[in-house]
């Protein structure tokens, strides 16, 4: 299997955050969202398999991700902006299900997404939450990085 292109993965994350944002407002199916994004040309330079798989898992297992995020957040889901919520769901998915991606990369990408698309200073909150979550989901990797 070929190594994923770093820029394609970044563009995929951007598309996922946009899709998760839209989903929180209108709750279309994964297939409908993928079709809308493909028709709009938003999937031209992304990893479509990653987009489809991540979107499906996040949308169908949101309650599981909420359970993982709740103990490490200082705000409730209702207090979060929809962009920040989408970024945290994506970060949680990557920390839990994509062990091939170093946790520092997951956090750095989430912080960049928050800086680009989130509310002012939301990147600080995203960083803190995902850093705590990494210690829970990837304790060995996080401990090795801390020493």
- Per-residue pLDDT of the chain in tens (147 residues, 90 and over written 9): 445 577 888 999 999 999 999 999 887 788 888 898 888 888 888 999 999 999 999 999 999 999 999 999 988 888 899 999 999 999 999 999 999 999 999 999 999 999 999 999 999 999 999 999 999 999 988 888 877
Q: How far apart are CA 105 and CA 45, in angstroms?
A: 20
pTM for the structure as a whole: 0.92
- For the chain, domain boundaries: 6-137
Kindly indicate whether the domain formed by 6-137 is annotated with CATH number 2.60.40.10.
no
Q: How far apart are CA 126 and CA 73, in angstroms?
A: 9
Alpha helices in the chain (DSSP H): 6-26, 30-39, 48-60, 62-69, 82-97, 103-117, 122-137, 139-146
Q: How far apart are CA 66 and CA 16, in angstroms?
A: 17
């Amino acid at each position: 299997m070929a190594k994923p292109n770093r820029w394609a993965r970044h563009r995929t994350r951007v598309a996922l955050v946009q899709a998760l944002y839209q989903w929180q407002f209108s709750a279309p199916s994964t297939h409908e969202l993928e079709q809308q994004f493909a028709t709009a040309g938003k999937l031209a330079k992304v990893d479509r398999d990653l987009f489809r798989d991540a979107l499906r898992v996040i949308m169908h297992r949101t309650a599981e991700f909420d359970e993982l995020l709740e103990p490490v957040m200082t705000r409730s889901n209702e207090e979060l902006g929809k962009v920040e919520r989408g970024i945290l769901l994506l970060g949680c998915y990557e920390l839990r299900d994509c062990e091939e991606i170093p946790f520092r990369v997951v956090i750095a990408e989430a912080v960049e997404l928050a800086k680009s698309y989130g509310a002012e200073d939301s990147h600080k909150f995203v960083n803190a939450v995902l850093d705590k979550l990494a210690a829970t989901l990837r304790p060995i990797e996080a401990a090795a990085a801390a020493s």
